[in-house]
Structure 1
Amino acid sequence: MTKKRIDRVSVFAECDAVVKDLPNERITSRLIGTRMGVSNTAVYKLVKQWREEAKKAQEELISQTQMSSKFVGALLTEVDARVTEMRQLDEQESTQMSQEMDEMAEQVGTLEAEIISLREQLDGRTIELATANEKLETQNKDLNDKLEAKGVELQGMTKDYAKAQVKAEAYDDLSKELADLKAKAEDLVGQNATLQAKQEATAMTISNLEASNADNIAQRNNAQEALALVNARLTDAQNALQTKTLECATLEATIGNKADSTEAK
Protein backbone atom coordinates (compact mmCIF):
# COMPACT_ATOMS: atom_id res chain seq x y z
CA MET A 1 0.00 0.00 0.00
CA THR A 2 1.49 3.32 -1.11
CA LYS A 3 1.16 6.19 1.33
CA LYS A 4 -0.36 9.26 -0.31
CA ARG A 5 -0.21 12.97 0.47
CA ILE A 6 -2.98 14.11 2.80
CA ASP A 7 -4.67 17.29 1.52
CA ARG A 8 -8.08 18.39 0.20
CA VAL A 9 -7.28 17.60 -3.45
CA SER A 10 -5.93 14.08 -2.85
CA VAL A 11 -8.65 13.08 -0.36
CA PHE A 12 -11.48 14.45 -2.54
CA ALA A 13 -9.98 12.66 -5.56
CA GLU A 14 -9.88 9.38 -3.64
CA CYS A 15 -13.54 9.82 -2.59
CA ASP A 16 -14.55 10.52 -6.19
CA ALA A 17 -12.61 7.45 -7.34
CA VAL A 18 -14.52 5.24 -4.87
CA VAL A 19 -17.86 6.66 -6.09
CA LYS A 20 -16.82 5.90 -9.68
CA ASP A 21 -15.26 2.45 -9.14
CA LEU A 22 -17.46 1.25 -6.26
CA PRO A 23 -20.82 3.08 -6.55
CA ASN A 24 -22.43 0.94 -3.86
CA GLU A 25 -19.62 1.45 -1.33
CA ARG A 26 -20.12 3.90 1.54
CA ILE A 27 -17.57 6.71 1.73
CA THR A 28 -16.01 6.48 5.21
CA SER A 29 -12.82 7.84 6.72
CA ARG A 30 -11.72 4.26 7.48
CA LEU A 31 -12.15 3.22 3.82
CA ILE A 32 -10.36 6.30 2.44
CA GLY A 33 -7.60 6.06 5.06
CA THR A 34 -7.00 2.40 4.17
CA ARG A 35 -6.86 3.16 0.45
CA MET A 36 -4.42 6.05 1.03
CA GLY A 37 -2.27 4.15 3.52
CA VAL A 38 -2.94 6.44 6.51
CA SER A 39 -5.04 6.35 9.68
CA ASN A 40 -8.77 7.14 9.56
CA THR A 41 -8.28 10.10 11.92
CA ALA A 42 -5.82 11.68 9.48
CA VAL A 43 -8.49 11.99 6.76
CA TYR A 44 -11.60 12.25 8.98
CA LYS A 45 -12.18 16.02 8.59
CA LEU A 46 -11.61 16.06 4.81
CA VAL A 47 -13.86 13.01 4.22
CA LYS A 48 -16.56 14.68 6.32
CA GLN A 49 -16.18 17.87 4.25
CA TRP A 50 -16.48 15.86 1.00
CA ARG A 51 -19.71 14.22 2.22
CA GLU A 52 -21.15 17.60 3.23
CA GLU A 53 -20.33 19.14 -0.15
CA ALA A 54 -21.77 16.14 -2.03
CA LYS A 55 -24.97 16.45 -0.02
CA LYS A 56 -25.10 20.20 -0.64
CA ALA A 57 -24.72 19.61 -4.39
CA GLN A 58 -27.68 17.24 -4.34
CA GLU A 59 -29.76 19.75 -2.39
CA GLU A 60 -28.91 22.46 -4.92
CA LEU A 61 -29.87 20.11 -7.76
CA ILE A 62 -33.27 19.61 -6.16
CA SER A 63 -33.77 23.36 -5.61
CA GLN A 64 -32.91 24.08 -9.27
CA THR A 65 -35.53 21.67 -10.60
CA GLN A 66 -38.30 23.81 -12.19
CA MET A 67 -41.92 22.79 -11.70
CA SER A 68 -44.40 22.90 -14.59
CA SER A 69 -47.85 21.49 -15.14
CA LYS A 70 -46.57 19.27 -17.92
CA PHE A 71 -43.98 17.48 -15.73
CA VAL A 72 -45.73 17.42 -12.34
CA GLY A 73 -45.85 13.65 -12.18
CA ALA A 74 -42.22 13.25 -13.17
CA LEU A 75 -41.20 16.02 -10.75
CA LEU A 76 -42.94 14.33 -7.85
CA THR A 77 -41.15 11.09 -8.64
CA GLU A 78 -37.83 12.92 -8.92
CA VAL A 79 -38.36 14.77 -5.64
CA ASP A 80 -39.25 11.53 -3.87
CA ALA A 81 -36.14 9.85 -5.27
CA ARG A 82 -33.87 12.77 -4.35
CA VAL A 83 -35.25 13.11 -0.82
CA THR A 84 -35.04 9.36 -0.31
CA GLU A 85 -31.42 9.44 -1.45
CA MET A 86 -30.71 12.37 0.89
CA ARG A 87 -32.33 10.51 3.76
CA GLN A 88 -30.20 7.44 3.01
CA LEU A 89 -27.05 9.59 2.87
CA ASP A 90 -27.97 11.22 6.19
CA GLU A 91 -28.66 7.86 7.78
CA GLN A 92 -25.39 6.45 6.43
CA GLU A 93 -23.50 9.51 7.67
CA SER A 94 -25.17 9.24 11.07
CA THR A 95 -24.29 5.53 11.31
CA GLN A 96 -20.72 6.14 10.18
CA MET A 97 -20.19 8.99 12.64
CA SER A 98 -21.59 6.83 15.44
CA GLN A 99 -19.13 4.08 14.52
CA GLU A 100 -16.25 6.55 14.36
CA MET A 101 -17.27 8.03 17.71
CA ASP A 102 -17.23 4.52 19.23
CA GLU A 103 -13.78 3.90 17.72
CA MET A 104 -12.49 7.22 19.05
CA ALA A 105 -13.93 6.46 22.47
CA GLU A 106 -12.14 3.09 22.39
CA GLN A 107 -8.89 4.81 21.38
CA VAL A 108 -9.33 7.37 24.18
CA GLY A 109 -9.91 4.57 26.68
CA THR A 110 -6.80 2.74 25.48
CA LEU A 111 -4.68 5.88 25.71
CA GLU A 112 -6.00 6.69 29.18
CA ALA A 113 -5.18 3.16 30.34
CA GLU A 114 -1.69 3.46 28.86
CA ILE A 115 -1.21 6.85 30.54
CA ILE A 116 -2.30 5.40 33.89
CA SER A 117 0.15 2.51 33.43
CA LEU A 118 2.99 4.88 32.53
CA ARG A 119 2.15 7.11 35.48
CA GLU A 120 2.40 4.08 37.75
CA GLN A 121 5.75 3.22 36.15
CA LEU A 122 6.89 6.81 36.60
CA ASP A 123 5.85 6.78 40.26
CA GLY A 124 7.70 3.51 40.75
CA ARG A 125 10.82 4.82 39.04
CA THR A 126 10.60 8.06 41.02
CA ILE A 127 10.53 6.06 44.24
CA GLU A 128 13.33 3.86 42.90
CA LEU A 129 15.38 6.93 42.00
CA ALA A 130 14.77 8.52 45.40
CA THR A 131 15.78 5.30 47.14
CA ALA A 132 18.84 4.98 44.92
CA ASN A 133 19.79 8.60 45.63
CA GLU A 134 19.51 7.96 49.38
CA LYS A 135 21.64 4.85 49.04
CA LEU A 136 24.08 6.69 46.81
CA GLU A 137 24.46 9.50 49.29
CA THR A 138 25.06 7.02 52.11
CA GLN A 139 27.51 4.97 50.04
CA ASN A 140 29.29 8.10 48.84
CA LYS A 141 29.65 9.29 52.39
CA ASP A 142 30.99 5.91 53.48
CA LEU A 143 33.35 5.82 50.51
CA ASN A 144 34.56 9.34 51.19
CA ASP A 145 35.18 8.44 54.81
CA LYS A 146 37.04 5.30 53.75
CA LEU A 147 39.00 7.21 51.13
CA GLU A 148 40.02 9.82 53.67
CA ALA A 149 40.94 7.15 56.18
CA LYS A 150 42.88 5.15 53.60
CA GLY A 151 44.54 8.34 52.38
CA VAL A 152 45.67 9.19 55.87
CA GLU A 153 46.74 5.62 56.39
CA LEU A 154 48.62 5.60 53.10
CA GLN A 155 50.34 8.87 53.93
CA GLY A 156 51.31 7.54 57.31
CA MET A 157 52.59 4.30 55.81
CA THR A 158 54.54 6.26 53.21
CA LYS A 159 56.18 8.40 55.84
CA ASP A 160 56.93 5.50 58.12
CA TYR A 161 57.88 3.09 55.34
CA ALA A 162 61.58 3.46 55.83
CA LYS A 163 61.43 3.17 59.59
CA ALA A 164 58.81 0.44 59.84
CA GLN A 165 60.16 -1.45 56.83
CA VAL A 166 56.66 -2.15 55.55
CA LYS A 167 56.68 -4.71 52.82
CA ALA A 168 56.02 -3.56 49.27
CA GLU A 169 53.15 -6.09 48.97
CA ALA A 170 51.16 -4.41 51.76
CA TYR A 171 51.63 -1.00 50.16
CA ASP A 172 50.43 -2.33 46.75
CA ASP A 173 47.37 -3.98 48.27
CA LEU A 174 46.40 -0.75 49.97
CA SER A 175 46.77 1.19 46.71
CA LYS A 176 44.62 -1.39 44.87
CA GLU A 177 41.91 -1.19 47.52
CA LEU A 178 41.89 2.58 47.19
CA ALA A 179 41.50 2.29 43.38
CA ASP A 180 38.60 -0.19 43.78
CA LEU A 181 36.80 2.20 46.11
CA LYS A 182 37.13 5.02 43.56
CA ALA A 183 35.79 2.73 40.77
CA LYS A 184 32.73 1.83 42.87
CA ALA A 185 32.02 5.50 43.49
CA GLU A 186 32.15 6.23 39.75
CA ASP A 187 29.84 3.27 39.00
CA LEU A 188 27.25 4.56 41.49
CA VAL A 189 27.33 7.96 39.83
CA GLY A 190 26.71 6.31 36.44
CA GLN A 191 23.74 4.34 37.81
CA ASN A 192 22.23 7.53 39.17
CA ALA A 193 22.52 9.24 35.75
CA THR A 194 20.83 6.24 34.04
CA LEU A 195 17.88 6.35 36.45
CA GLN A 196 17.42 10.07 35.87
CA ALA A 197 17.44 9.54 32.07
CA LYS A 198 14.75 6.83 32.35
CA GLN A 199 12.59 9.13 34.47
CA GLU A 200 12.84 11.97 31.93
CA ALA A 201 12.01 9.62 29.01
CA THR A 202 8.91 8.29 30.79
CA ALA A 203 7.71 11.83 31.57
CA MET A 204 8.11 12.79 27.89
CA THR A 205 6.09 9.72 26.76
CA ILE A 206 3.25 10.63 29.14
CA SER A 207 3.22 14.21 27.83
CA ASN A 208 2.93 13.00 24.21
CA LEU A 209 0.14 10.54 25.04
CA GLU A 210 -1.82 13.20 26.94
CA ALA A 211 -1.61 15.52 23.90
CA SER A 212 -2.82 12.71 21.58
CA ASN A 213 -5.64 11.87 23.99
CA ALA A 214 -6.78 15.52 24.07
CA ASP A 215 -6.88 15.58 20.24
CA ASN A 216 -9.00 12.40 20.10
CA ILE A 217 -11.44 13.84 22.67
CA ALA A 218 -11.76 17.01 20.58
CA GLN A 219 -12.48 14.94 17.44
CA ARG A 220 -15.08 12.92 19.34
CA ASN A 221 -16.81 16.15 20.47
CA ASN A 222 -16.78 17.46 16.89
CA ALA A 223 -18.33 14.20 15.68
CA GLN A 224 -21.11 14.51 18.27
CA GLU A 225 -21.89 18.02 17.07
CA ALA A 226 -21.90 16.85 13.43
CA LEU A 227 -24.27 14.00 14.32
CA ALA A 228 -26.73 16.46 15.88
CA LEU A 229 -26.51 18.63 12.74
CA VAL A 230 -27.22 15.63 10.48
CA ASN A 231 -30.29 14.71 12.56
CA ALA A 232 -31.56 18.31 12.26
CA ARG A 233 -31.01 18.26 8.50
CA LEU A 234 -32.86 14.95 8.22
CA THR A 235 -35.85 16.49 10.01
CA ASP A 236 -35.74 19.51 7.67
CA ALA A 237 -35.63 17.19 4.63
CA GLN A 238 -38.67 15.28 5.90
CA ASN A 239 -40.59 18.52 6.42
CA ALA A 240 -39.56 19.71 2.93
CA LEU A 241 -40.80 16.42 1.46
CA GLN A 242 -44.19 16.84 3.09
CA THR A 243 -44.43 20.43 1.78
CA LYS A 244 -43.45 19.42 -1.76
CA THR A 245 -45.96 16.54 -1.68
CA LEU A 246 -48.79 18.90 -0.69
CA GLU A 247 -47.76 21.40 -3.36
CA CYS A 248 -47.69 18.72 -6.05
CA ALA A 249 -51.07 17.35 -4.97
CA THR A 250 -52.56 20.85 -5.08
CA LEU A 251 -51.05 21.47 -8.52
CA GLU A 252 -52.36 18.16 -9.86
CA ALA A 253 -55.84 19.00 -8.57
CA THR A 254 -55.71 22.41 -10.21
CA ILE A 255 -54.59 20.92 -13.54
CA GLY A 256 -57.33 18.30 -13.34
CA ASN A 257 -59.99 20.96 -12.72
CA LYS A 258 -58.75 23.00 -15.67
CA ALA A 259 -58.80 19.92 -17.88
CA ASP A 260 -62.39 19.13 -16.82
CA SER A 261 -63.45 22.73 -17.56
CA THR A 262 -61.85 22.57 -21.01
CA GLU A 263 -63.60 19.34 -21.88
CA ALA A 264 -66.94 20.70 -20.66
CA LYS A 265 -66.64 23.72 -22.97
Structure 2
Amino acid sequence: MVERTGYVDGEPCWADVVAADLPAAQHFYAAVFGWTYTDTGANFGHYVMCMKNDRIVAGMSPPMPGSEQLPAAWSLYLMSHDLADTAHRIDEHGGKLLIPPMEVPDSGRMLFATDPSGAAFGAWEPGRHTGSQLYDENGALCWAEVMTREPTVTDFFYHGVFGYLQTRIPTPVRPGLEPFDYSAWTVGDAEPVAGRLKMTAEWDGVPAHWTVYFATDDTDTAAARVLAAGGRVQRGPFDSPHGRLAVIEDPNGAVFTIISRGF
Protein backbone atom coordinates (compact mmCIF):
# COMPACT_ATOMS: atom_id res chain seq x y z
CA MET A 1 0.00 0.00 0.00
CA VAL A 2 1.08 3.58 -0.70
CA GLU A 3 0.51 5.01 2.78
CA ARG A 4 0.70 8.73 3.50
CA THR A 5 1.09 10.48 6.83
CA GLY A 6 1.45 13.99 5.43
CA TYR A 7 1.49 16.21 2.35
CA VAL A 8 3.46 19.27 1.29
CA ASP A 9 1.72 22.60 0.73
CA GLY A 10 -0.23 22.62 -2.51
CA GLU A 11 -0.63 18.85 -2.79
CA PRO A 12 -4.14 17.45 -3.19
CA CYS A 13 -4.63 15.80 0.18
CA TRP A 14 -8.34 15.16 0.62
CA ALA A 15 -11.62 14.93 -1.26
CA ASP A 16 -15.20 14.64 -0.09
CA VAL A 17 -18.59 14.35 -1.69
CA VAL A 18 -22.00 15.67 -0.67
CA ALA A 19 -24.71 13.09 -1.32
CA ALA A 20 -28.43 13.78 -0.97
CA ASP A 21 -29.03 10.02 -0.84
CA LEU A 22 -26.27 8.91 1.51
CA PRO A 23 -27.20 5.20 1.60
CA ALA A 24 -27.18 5.07 -2.22
CA ALA A 25 -23.76 6.75 -2.29
CA GLN A 26 -22.35 4.35 0.29
CA HIS A 27 -23.67 1.33 -1.61
CA PHE A 28 -22.24 2.67 -4.87
CA TYR A 29 -18.70 3.41 -3.66
CA ALA A 30 -18.56 0.17 -1.69
CA ALA A 31 -19.38 -1.70 -4.90
CA VAL A 32 -16.94 0.26 -7.07
CA PHE A 33 -13.97 0.69 -4.69
CA GLY A 34 -14.65 -1.65 -1.78
CA TRP A 35 -14.99 1.24 0.66
CA THR A 36 -16.26 0.80 4.20
CA TYR A 37 -17.56 3.64 6.36
CA THR A 38 -17.34 5.28 9.77
CA ASP A 39 -19.99 7.85 10.71
CA THR A 40 -18.44 10.59 12.88
CA GLY A 41 -21.79 11.31 14.57
CA ALA A 42 -24.38 14.03 14.99
CA ASN A 43 -21.90 16.58 16.40
CA PHE A 44 -20.09 16.50 13.05
CA GLY A 45 -23.21 16.52 10.88
CA HIS A 46 -22.89 12.76 10.28
CA TYR A 47 -19.80 13.31 8.18
CA VAL A 48 -18.67 9.88 7.02
CA MET A 49 -15.07 8.73 6.76
CA CYS A 50 -14.61 6.41 3.79
CA MET A 51 -12.12 3.62 4.41
CA LYS A 52 -10.04 1.38 2.15
CA ASN A 53 -8.09 -1.44 3.82
CA ASP A 54 -8.78 0.24 7.19
CA ARG A 55 -7.18 3.50 6.00
CA ILE A 56 -9.11 6.78 5.62
CA VAL A 57 -9.26 7.79 1.94
CA ALA A 58 -12.17 10.24 1.47
CA GLY A 59 -15.18 11.89 3.08
CA MET A 60 -18.92 11.81 2.46
CA SER A 61 -21.78 13.78 3.96
CA PRO A 62 -25.44 14.64 3.55
CA PRO A 63 -26.21 18.20 2.40
CA MET A 64 -26.09 20.98 4.97
CA PRO A 65 -29.54 22.28 5.97
CA GLY A 66 -30.71 24.72 3.32
CA SER A 67 -28.41 23.38 0.61
CA GLU A 68 -30.41 20.28 -0.32
CA GLN A 69 -31.08 21.56 -3.85
CA LEU A 70 -27.42 22.10 -4.75
CA PRO A 71 -26.03 19.58 -7.24
CA ALA A 72 -23.93 16.73 -5.87
CA ALA A 73 -20.20 17.23 -6.38
CA TRP A 74 -16.79 16.08 -5.26
CA SER A 75 -14.72 18.77 -3.53
CA LEU A 76 -10.92 18.82 -3.51
CA TYR A 77 -8.71 20.10 -0.68
CA LEU A 78 -5.12 21.30 -1.12
CA MET A 79 -2.67 21.11 1.76
CA SER A 80 -1.73 24.28 3.65
CA HIS A 81 0.32 24.39 6.83
CA ASP A 82 -0.51 28.10 7.28
CA LEU A 83 -4.18 28.61 6.47
CA ALA A 84 -4.17 32.31 7.39
CA ASP A 85 -1.40 32.96 4.88
CA THR A 86 -3.20 30.89 2.24
CA ALA A 87 -6.40 32.89 2.81
CA HIS A 88 -4.43 36.12 2.39
CA ARG A 89 -2.86 34.88 -0.84
CA ILE A 90 -6.24 33.80 -2.21
CA ASP A 91 -7.59 37.30 -1.68
CA GLU A 92 -4.39 38.95 -2.94
CA HIS A 93 -4.46 36.99 -6.22
CA GLY A 94 -8.09 37.51 -7.13
CA GLY A 95 -9.81 34.53 -5.53
CA LYS A 96 -12.85 34.65 -3.28
CA LEU A 97 -13.21 33.10 0.15
CA LEU A 98 -16.54 31.28 0.52
CA ILE A 99 -15.74 29.85 3.97
CA PRO A 100 -12.93 31.66 5.82
CA PRO A 101 -10.49 29.65 7.92
CA MET A 102 -12.45 27.67 10.50
CA GLU A 103 -11.66 25.05 13.10
CA VAL A 104 -12.80 21.47 12.64
CA PRO A 105 -12.64 20.17 16.22
CA ASP A 106 -10.02 17.48 16.87
CA SER A 107 -9.14 17.39 13.18
CA GLY A 108 -7.59 20.58 11.77
CA ARG A 109 -8.63 23.79 10.04
CA MET A 110 -10.18 24.39 6.63
CA LEU A 111 -11.27 27.07 4.22
CA PHE A 112 -13.21 26.97 0.99
CA ALA A 113 -12.75 29.35 -1.92
CA THR A 114 -13.10 29.93 -5.64
CA ASP A 115 -10.26 30.85 -7.95
CA PRO A 116 -10.69 33.80 -10.38
CA SER A 117 -12.19 31.53 -13.04
CA GLY A 118 -14.85 30.29 -10.61
CA ALA A 119 -13.47 26.83 -9.78
CA ALA A 120 -14.13 25.93 -6.14
CA PHE A 121 -11.56 24.24 -3.92
CA GLY A 122 -10.71 23.80 -0.28
CA ALA A 123 -7.49 24.13 1.69
CA TRP A 124 -6.71 22.00 4.71
CA GLU A 125 -4.37 22.74 7.62
CA PRO A 126 -3.72 19.43 9.37
CA GLY A 127 -4.28 18.61 12.99
CA ARG A 128 -5.06 15.03 13.91
CA HIS A 129 -6.45 14.56 10.41
CA THR A 130 -3.55 14.75 7.94
CA GLY A 131 -5.42 13.88 4.75
CA SER A 132 -5.97 10.66 2.85
CA GLN A 133 -3.95 7.87 4.41
CA LEU A 134 -3.55 6.18 1.02
CA TYR A 135 -2.57 7.90 -2.21
CA ASP A 136 -2.15 6.57 -5.76
CA GLU A 137 -3.52 3.27 -4.54
CA ASN A 138 -6.54 1.28 -5.69
CA GLY A 139 -9.64 3.07 -4.33
CA ALA A 140 -7.76 6.22 -3.25
CA LEU A 141 -7.19 9.70 -4.58
CA CYS A 142 -4.37 9.75 -7.15
CA TRP A 143 -4.61 12.99 -9.17
CA ALA A 144 -6.59 16.21 -9.55
CA GLU A 145 -6.85 18.90 -12.17
CA VAL A 146 -8.58 22.22 -12.55
CA MET A 147 -10.58 22.81 -15.72
CA THR A 148 -10.80 26.46 -16.75
CA ARG A 149 -11.47 28.73 -19.71
CA GLU A 150 -8.92 31.24 -18.39
CA PRO A 151 -5.61 29.34 -18.28
CA THR A 152 -3.32 32.35 -17.91
CA VAL A 153 -5.33 33.79 -15.02
CA THR A 154 -5.60 30.36 -13.41
CA ASP A 155 -1.88 29.62 -13.72
CA PHE A 156 -1.03 32.99 -12.15
CA PHE A 157 -3.46 32.46 -9.27
CA TYR A 158 -2.25 29.02 -8.18
CA HIS A 159 1.39 29.98 -8.62
CA GLY A 160 0.77 32.93 -6.32
CA VAL A 161 -1.15 30.93 -3.72
CA PHE A 162 0.74 27.63 -3.65
CA GLY A 163 3.92 28.35 -5.61
CA TYR A 164 3.11 25.88 -8.37
CA LEU A 165 5.67 25.66 -11.15
CA GLN A 166 4.25 24.96 -14.58
CA THR A 167 5.25 22.39 -17.19
CA ARG A 168 3.27 22.37 -20.40
CA ILE A 169 2.44 18.86 -21.57
CA PRO A 170 2.92 18.31 -25.32
CA THR A 171 -0.26 16.94 -26.87
CA PRO A 172 -1.12 15.87 -30.41
CA VAL A 173 -3.05 18.16 -32.70
CA ARG A 174 -6.64 17.02 -32.99
CA PRO A 175 -8.08 17.70 -36.48
CA GLY A 176 -11.06 20.02 -36.40
CA LEU A 177 -10.75 20.73 -32.67
CA GLU A 178 -9.18 23.53 -30.66
CA PRO A 179 -5.60 22.97 -29.45
CA PHE A 180 -5.39 20.83 -26.30
CA ASP A 181 -3.80 23.05 -23.63
CA TYR A 182 -2.68 21.09 -20.57
CA SER A 183 -0.12 21.89 -17.90
CA ALA A 184 1.24 19.89 -14.98
CA TRP A 185 2.02 21.74 -11.76
CA THR A 186 4.88 20.87 -9.44
CA VAL A 187 5.91 22.11 -6.00
CA GLY A 188 9.66 22.62 -5.86
CA ASP A 189 11.58 19.69 -7.33
CA ALA A 190 8.85 17.14 -6.61
CA GLU A 191 6.86 15.14 -9.13
CA PRO A 192 3.76 16.90 -10.56
CA VAL A 193 1.01 17.20 -7.98
CA ALA A 194 -1.91 18.50 -10.08
CA GLY A 195 -2.88 19.59 -13.56
CA ARG A 196 -4.63 22.41 -15.39
CA LEU A 197 -6.75 21.91 -18.51
CA LYS A 198 -8.06 24.68 -20.74
CA MET A 199 -11.71 24.01 -21.46
CA THR A 200 -12.79 24.30 -25.08
CA ALA A 201 -16.12 24.24 -26.93
CA GLU A 202 -16.42 20.55 -26.02
CA TRP A 203 -17.22 21.69 -22.46
CA ASP A 204 -19.95 24.12 -23.47
CA GLY A 205 -22.18 24.87 -20.50
CA VAL A 206 -19.85 23.27 -17.95
CA PRO A 207 -18.48 25.76 -15.38
CA ALA A 208 -14.83 25.85 -14.31
CA HIS A 209 -14.15 23.20 -11.69
CA TRP A 210 -11.66 20.88 -10.06
CA THR A 211 -12.02 17.20 -10.89
CA VAL A 212 -10.68 14.35 -8.77
CA TYR A 213 -9.20 11.04 -9.92
CA PHE A 214 -9.35 7.76 -8.04
CA ALA A 215 -7.02 4.89 -8.84
CA THR A 216 -8.31 1.48 -9.85
CA ASP A 217 -6.60 -1.76 -10.78
CA ASP A 218 -8.65 -2.17 -13.96
CA THR A 219 -10.68 0.68 -15.44
CA ASP A 220 -12.90 -1.51 -17.62
CA THR A 221 -13.81 -3.80 -14.73
CA ALA A 222 -14.45 -0.81 -12.47
CA ALA A 223 -16.65 0.80 -15.15
CA ALA A 224 -18.73 -2.37 -15.27
CA ARG A 225 -19.13 -2.19 -11.48
CA VAL A 226 -20.22 1.45 -11.84
CA LEU A 227 -23.08 0.46 -14.15
CA ALA A 228 -24.12 -2.47 -11.97
CA ALA A 229 -24.21 -0.21 -8.89
CA GLY A 230 -26.46 2.41 -10.47
CA GLY A 231 -23.88 4.91 -11.73
CA ARG A 232 -23.20 6.14 -15.25
CA VAL A 233 -20.08 6.15 -17.42
CA GLN A 234 -20.05 9.61 -19.00
CA ARG A 235 -17.00 8.93 -21.14
CA GLY A 236 -14.72 5.98 -21.82
CA PRO A 237 -13.05 3.83 -20.90
CA PHE A 238 -10.27 5.24 -23.11
CA ASP A 239 -6.49 5.19 -23.22
CA SER A 240 -4.28 8.18 -22.45
CA PRO A 241 -0.49 8.59 -22.20
CA HIS A 242 -0.86 8.22 -18.41
CA GLY A 243 -3.27 5.30 -18.14
CA ARG A 244 -6.74 4.09 -19.00
CA LEU A 245 -9.50 6.44 -17.90
CA ALA A 246 -13.26 6.69 -17.53
CA VAL A 247 -15.36 9.64 -16.41
CA ILE A 248 -18.00 8.49 -13.93
CA GLU A 249 -21.23 9.90 -12.52
CA ASP A 250 -22.43 8.43 -9.23
CA PRO A 251 -26.15 7.86 -8.47
CA ASN A 252 -26.44 11.32 -6.87
CA GLY A 253 -24.87 13.03 -9.90
CA ALA A 254 -21.35 13.68 -8.56
CA VAL A 255 -18.70 13.29 -11.27
CA PHE A 256 -15.16 11.92 -10.90
CA THR A 257 -12.57 10.08 -12.98
CA ILE A 258 -11.06 6.64 -12.51
CA ILE A 259 -7.68 5.61 -13.89
CA SER A 260 -5.63 2.43 -14.03
CA ARG A 261 -1.97 2.67 -14.88
CA GLY A 262 -0.24 -0.52 -13.84
CA PHE A 263 0.41 -0.14 -10.11
TM range (shorter): under 0.3
TM-score by length of 2: 0.18
Larger relative strand fraction:
2
Larger Rg: 1
Question: RCO higher in 1 or 2 (8 Å CA, sep ≥ 6)?
Answer: 1
